[in-house]
């Protein structure tokens, strides 16, 4: 429906002229090329842990900095009012292994025990970094090894930002390269009413109330507000490929949790909940041993594929679908991955595409779980036939068990039902995606 990304910060590559920087959110990071104004091609996103960020500084960071001057050989990771020093060349810890107090060591007010964001200065302000907390910020001078005099100051007055970018921000991105190297980007999450394509609309029966990332630009050289963008679809378009790939990380994690629940259920006794889910999605509450083994085998292979991501995974410009596959080659997502699905819908897409990747080659069956059904009280028509796919364009409930075993949406919907049923007793309508795009 709209992107769910909560930008935490960025870590520019070494050198002021370097074109790239790592943008991170949650446990994931994506490398962005400011010269190309697009994500770096192929194999994105990446887990921060896999990039050498040690636990617990491998997720939900307040920010990150590359040191300046005499500190240029170090990286600094910030979380929960503490920081960790790393050797930039080796990513090995170069300070206390359990971190140290940011406020005490960086000579900040001792009541600054947590931060909204940490931003390296750009352009003429490259010798500074900035700590944001609430409606205030502090400028830190790398040469003086201390905050500049007269701080904290108000974000709104001195950065020329108005609400909601003047307090309690999500995070920041530091610009890179000749064109964007003097800019800082301040992100916040805003409530918006949108249609099914993430376009802003007036509130109404066909609109969705969502929360989505927005940003404002600050020019460090001229010390001026340089514009903002708060329309969800435009934010996705302007940060080319970034938000879909950052959305993909949490979608992978959610999909893995669903698969783990489904595999545990399939290896255990035939409880009423498991039998009901098998009946809903594989059209038989008590499939034979061979059928049950085939379902479990496919789910294991799907889980393995999800765990291998981002191998053979990328964002593609101009796609008219949220995701697609070349079986055994690449899983690809486009902007519609963010603009046409919510967090659970994106996780369902990841499971669906993983089935295509590892199981069905060529694609024999492709029937979405909402086809011909009623979801959340809303009746849905039968999906359109897919050219070249033998079984498509029919009602989901009309699938045979053999067909469902080859149907990607059956695995996504089954895994969801198994995962959610313990917290929603008796609930069978746990379908997401096109039928429930805001979830």
Which of 211, 239, 267 represents a domain boundary (last residue)? Answer: 239
- The pLDDT-based confidence of 360 (bands split at 50, 70, 90) is low
Mean pLDDT of 401-420: 94
Note the maximum CA span of the chain.
Answer: 75
Q: Which of 161, 222, 230 is nearest to 198 (CA)?
A: 230
Q: Is residue 319 part of a domain?
A: yes
- The pLDDT-based confidence of 147 (bands split at 50, 70, 90) is very high
Q: Is residue 329 part of a domain?
A: yes
* pLDDT on residue 174: 96
Task: Output the domain CATH number for residue 300.
Answer: 3.40.390.10
| C-alpha torsion angle, residues 317, 318, 324, 327 (rounded to 10) | -60
The whole-angstrom distance between residue 168's C-alpha and the CA centroid of its chain comes to 20
* Inter-residue contact 5 to 167 (CB < 8 Å): no
Please indicate, yes or no, whether residues 274 and 222 belong to a single structural domain of this protein: no
pLDDT tens figures, 292-304? 999 999 999 999 9
Q: What is the mean pLDDT of the chain?
A: 92
First to last CA, the chain: 8
| List of residues 6+ apart from 92 with CB closer than 8 A | 86
pLDDT tens figures, 307-329? 999 999 999 999 999 999 876 78
Beta bridge partners of 200: 194
Lowest-confidence region among 25-29, 49-53, 195-199, 422-426: 422-426
Per 3-state DSSP, the chain is made up of helix, strand and coil in percentages (nearest 5) of: 30, 25, 45
Main-chain phi, psi angles of 111, to 5 degrees:
-85, 0
Per DSSP, 247 falls in state H
Please indicate, yes or no, whether residues 199 and 277 belong to a single structural domain of this protein: no
Mean pLDDT of 221-247: 95
* pLDDT on residue 427: 55
Q: Is 201 helix (H, G, I), strand (E, B) or coil?
A: coil
Please indicate, yes or no, whether residues 258 and 218 belong to a single structural domain of this protein: no
Full residue range of the structural domain in which residue 322 is found: 245-423
Q: What DSSP element (H or E) covers 256?
A: helix 242-267
Please indicate, yes or no, whether residues 166 and 249 belong to a single structural domain of this protein: no
Q: Which of 213, 232, 244 is nearest to 314 (CA)?
A: 244
Between 53 and 206, name the one with better pLDDT.
Answer: 53
Question: What is the domain count for the chain?
Answer: 2
Please indicate, yes or no, whether residues 222 and 348 belong to a single structural domain of this protein: no
Q: Is residue 290 part of a domain?
A: yes
Please indicate, yes or no, whether residues 215 and 303 belong to a single structural domain of this protein: no
Please indicate, yes or no, whether residues 342 and 195 belong to a single structural domain of this protein: no
pLDDT tens figures, 153-205? 999 999 999 999 999 999 999 999 888 999 999 999 999 999 888 888 999 98
pLDDT tens figures, 364-405? 899 999 999 988 788 899 999 999 899 999 999 999 999 999
Q: Is residue 411 part of a domain?
A: yes
Which of 239, 256, 280 represents a domain boundary (last residue)? Answer: 239
Task: Output the domain CATH number for residue 39.
Answer: 2.110.10.10
Q: Is residue 203 part of a domain?
A: yes
Model confidence at 207: pLDDT above 90: no
Q: State the Cα–Cα distance between residues 439 and 342, nearest whole angstrom.
A: 5
Mean pLDDT of 410-433: 78
Please indicate, yes or no, whether residues 336 and 355 belong to a single structural domain of this protein: yes
What are the C-alpha distances in Å from 54 to residues 20, 153, 257?
Answer: 22, 33, 23
Residue 123 burial class via C-beta count within 10 angstroms: exposed 0-12, middle 13-18, buried 19 and up? middle
Please indicate, yes or no, whether residues 182 and 62 belong to a single structural domain of this protein: yes
Please indicate, yes or no, whether residues 227 and 262 belong to a single structural domain of this protein: no
Please indicate, yes or no, whether residues 258 and 164 belong to a single structural domain of this protein: no
| DSSP assignments along 297-365, one per residue | HHHHHHHHHHHHTTTTEEE-TT-SSSEEEETTTEEEE-THHHHS--HHHHHHHHHHHHHHHHT-SS--B
Q: Is residue 437 part of a domain?
A: no
Which of 239, 272, 296 represents a domain boundary (last residue)? Answer: 239
- The pLDDT-based confidence of 92 (bands split at 50, 70, 90) is very high
Please indicate, yes or no, whether residues 163 and 68 belong to a single structural domain of this protein: yes
């Amino acid at each position: 429906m709209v992107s769910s990304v909560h930008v935490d910060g960025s870590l520019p590559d070494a050198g002021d002229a370097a074109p790239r920087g790592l943008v991170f959110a949650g446990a994931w990071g994506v490398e962005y090329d400011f010269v190309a104004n697009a994500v770096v091609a192929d194999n994105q996103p990446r887990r921060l842990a896999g990039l050498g960020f040690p636990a617990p500084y491998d997720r939900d960071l307040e920010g990150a900095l590359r040191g300046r001057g005499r500190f240029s050989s170090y990286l600094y990771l910030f979380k929960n009012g503490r920081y960790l020093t790393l050797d930039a060349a080796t990513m090995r810890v170069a300070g206390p292994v359990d971190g140290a107090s940011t406020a005490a060591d960086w000579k900040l007010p001792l009541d600054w025990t947590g931060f909204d964001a940490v931003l390296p200065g750009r352009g003429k302000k490259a010798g500074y970094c900035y700590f944001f907390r609430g409606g205030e910020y502090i400028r830190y001078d790398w040469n003086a090894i201390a905050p500049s005099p007269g701080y904290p100051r108000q974000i709104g007055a001195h950065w020329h930002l108005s609400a909601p970018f003047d307090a309690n921000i999500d995070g920041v991105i530091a610009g890179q390269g000749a064109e964007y190297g003097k800019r800082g980007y301040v992100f916040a999450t805003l409530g918006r009413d949108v249609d099914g394509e993430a376009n802003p609309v007036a509130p109404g029966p066909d609109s969705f109330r969502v929360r989505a990332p927005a940003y404002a630009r600050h020019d460090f050289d001229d010390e001026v507000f340089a514009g903002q963008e708060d329309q969800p679809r435009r934010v996705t378009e302007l940060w080319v490929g970034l938000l879909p790939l950052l959305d993909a990380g949490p979608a992978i994690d959610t999909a893995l949790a669903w698969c783990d629940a489904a595999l545990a259920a399939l290896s255990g006794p035939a409880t009423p909940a498991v039998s009901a889910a098998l009946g809903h999605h594989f059209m038989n509450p008590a499939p034979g041993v061979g059928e049950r083994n085939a379902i479990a085998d496919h789910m294991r292979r799907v889980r393995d594929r999800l765990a291998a991501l981002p191998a053979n995974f990328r964002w593609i410009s101009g796609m008219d679908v949220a995701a697609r596959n070349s079986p055994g080659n690449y899983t690809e997502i486009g902007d519609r991955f963010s603009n046409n699905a919510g967090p659970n819908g994106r996780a369902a897409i990841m499971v669906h595409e993983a089935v295509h990747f590892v199981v069905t080659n060529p694609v024999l069956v492709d029937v979405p779980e909402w086809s011909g059904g009623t979801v959340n009280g809303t009746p849905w028509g039968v999906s359109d036939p897919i050219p070249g796919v033998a079984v498509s364009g029919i009602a989901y409930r009309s699938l045979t068990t053999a067909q469902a075993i080859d149907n990607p949406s059956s695995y996504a919907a089954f895994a969801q039902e198994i995962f959610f049923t313990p917290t929603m007793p008796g609930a069978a309508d746990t379908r997401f995606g096109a039928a429930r795009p805001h979830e």
